[in-house]
Amino acid sequence: MSDSGASRPVAVIIGMMGAGKTRVGREVSQMLGLPFRDADLEIEREVGMSIPDYFSRYGEPAFREVESDLIRRTLEEFDGLFALGGGAPMTPATQDALADYIADGGRVIYLQADPKEAMERANRGGGRPMLNGGDANERWMRLYKQRDPVFTRIANIHVRTHGSTPQMAARKVMNMIEERVVHVDVVAADDYNVRIGEGALNHLAGVLGDKPTRIALIHTQPVQRHSDRARALLRQAGYEVSDIVIPDAEAGKTITVANGIWERLGNEGFTRSDAVVGVGGGAVTDLAGFVAATWMRGIRYVNCPTSLLAMVDASTGGKTGINTKVGKNLVGSFYTPAGVLADMTTLASLPNDIFIEGLGEVAKSGFISDPEILRILEDHAAELRAFDGATLIGSPLEDVVAELIERTVKVKARHVSADLKEAGLREFLNYGHTLGHAIEKLEHFRWRHGNAVAVGMVYAAELASLLGYIDRDLVDYHRSLLASLGLPTSWNGGSFEDVLALMHRDKKARGNTLRFVVLDGIGHPVHLDDPPADAVEEAFRRIQQ
């Protein structure tokens, strides 16, 4: 939000007559301890008569003028929850005011009720001048056809309330209000949002939009409960869903798996306007993005990461790829998603060891860019190490994890925004990866990525210390912090010759020259080209202990 000193509403609720804006708005305001205002009630107070009376005496144009003026003032001076009347967002002046509010970080929530439910409520409530004359239901549907596309376009949050009680709908709205949103603004590519919070998956239809007819839902078996939820949301929104299950982890990232999916897309008539949704860990989001980037030279895709590692790393940044026999991610494409939905509830099913490995990438972002991440990791190391998904949601640790995800994604967004195709700045995100990828390959991917990167960071710190970039204390800090989180800091599973050969094949390598990312202080990564061979070997010897 703007820090200009002016108050702004926490959220503005729009929707059709009978959608439940006032009832749901009041529930949410109680849950969050915020004041609530209903535009229609405020107008009645201001003009000293009921809206039906004002309509019949002065007509709709005069009413809309009073309404848009009150909305504009409230958007500038009120810091609670604000519900607008059914037709308010159709007025150009109100549309402009809402666009300014969104540009200032505001949330305009479109409460998408089931038309039958909303019509019933609207008729029951009475006092709605727009439904006077003729068949009320027919008039409601006519208005709905005019307004729905406009509301969909204006709002930056869409909440479907079909079949929900007011309390359930309020809970959905509250989760979306409390979400953390990181905007990734990419030079020479479409920008997108990473949404982090409970219920973030509810944005799926809003991010996909109304162009796609068919959705390829790509997921693995272990995340079945999350893919079931995604499928239900997609079907509710009217999409045709092709369910595509792939092998778990790195076994799913192969040309054979990709080819099988291309064949299915062809057989099922997927066009350029259809879309892909990836639900799962980093391997799934990598593969789903690669399929989307290559089908008909690029179709829309949305990532729904279900592991900490995928939320902070693979799903954001527009890197897609598959593995080959000679190395990891050597075949791929830079292709940005339409959005990333990091739903915190998916972490509830995450085993402890898979959560811990994600902390490797979180710590990396702290070392290269945001020291506050390191402070949070230090302060909460014991709780993070003892992570139990079953107790996460609603616990104090949930907010700690959400902040770590948000900060890590912001680090990635800063590097990716300026350098989508990894020509310079983005390479700093590869801190710890040169050795880390070699370990993964030599371990036949039995070692998890975040664990390999943790050892890789210790290696990079040892190398930087040997060459005088950092002092011994910072090397020791790498070891102690990573170990306190339950991450490995040494590896003894292969010879230096094997590791060296793989490091030469690393994507950062230039010709026959080894290229590393090292630190010359916390938050200050630098490129290290062609370091002395004896230092490269000595640093390796030190991580074997």
| Binding-site annotation, residues for substrate | 40, 64, 86, 147
Contacts of 22 (CB under 8 A, 6+ apart): 38, 83
DSSP 496: H
Q: How do 515-519 and 525-529 pair as beta strands?
A: antiparallel
User: Annotated binding site, which residues?
Assistant: 18-23, 40, 64, 86, 128, 147, 248-253, 282-286, 306-307, 319, 328, 361, 433, 449
Contacts of 472 (CB under 8 A, 6+ apart): 465
User: Annotated binding site for Zn(2+), which residues?
Assistant: 361, 433, 449
Q: In which residue are the tokens 């075949």 written? A: 331
Please state the φ and ψ torsions of residue 276, each to the nearest 5 degrees: -120, 140
CA dist 115 and 89 (Å) reads 18
Number of Cα atoms under 13 Å in the Cβ half of residue 39: 28
Q: List the beta bridge partners of residue 527.
A: 517
Q: In which residue are the tokens 């839902």 written? A: 217
Q: In which residue are the tokens 């809206």 written? A: 51
CA dist 487 and 510 (Å) reads 30
Cα distances from 509 to residues 423, 434, 500, in angstroms, run 12, 9, 12
- How many helices (H) and strands (E) the chain has is answered by 22, 16
The answer to whether the beta carbons of residues 43 and 58 sit under 8 Å apart is: no
Our CA angle for 98, 104, 110, nearest 5°, is 40
User: Annotated binding site for NAD(+), which residues?
Assistant: 248-253, 282-286, 306-307, 319, 328
CA dist 356 and 359 (Å) reads 5
Retrieve residue 351's tokens: 């085993």
Nearest to 341 by CA among 278, 420, 250: 278
User: Annotated binding site for ATP, which residues?
Assistant: 18-23, 128
Torsion angle, CA of 253/254/256/262, rounded to 10 degrees?
A: 50
Nearest to 16 by CA among 142, 148, 107, 125: 148
Please state the φ and ψ torsions of residue 70, each to the nearest 5 degrees: -65, -40
User: Annotated binding site for Mg(2+), which residues?
Assistant: 22
Contacts of 211 (CB under 8 A, 6+ apart): 273, 300
**Beta carbons within 10 angstroms of residue 324's beta carbon:** 13
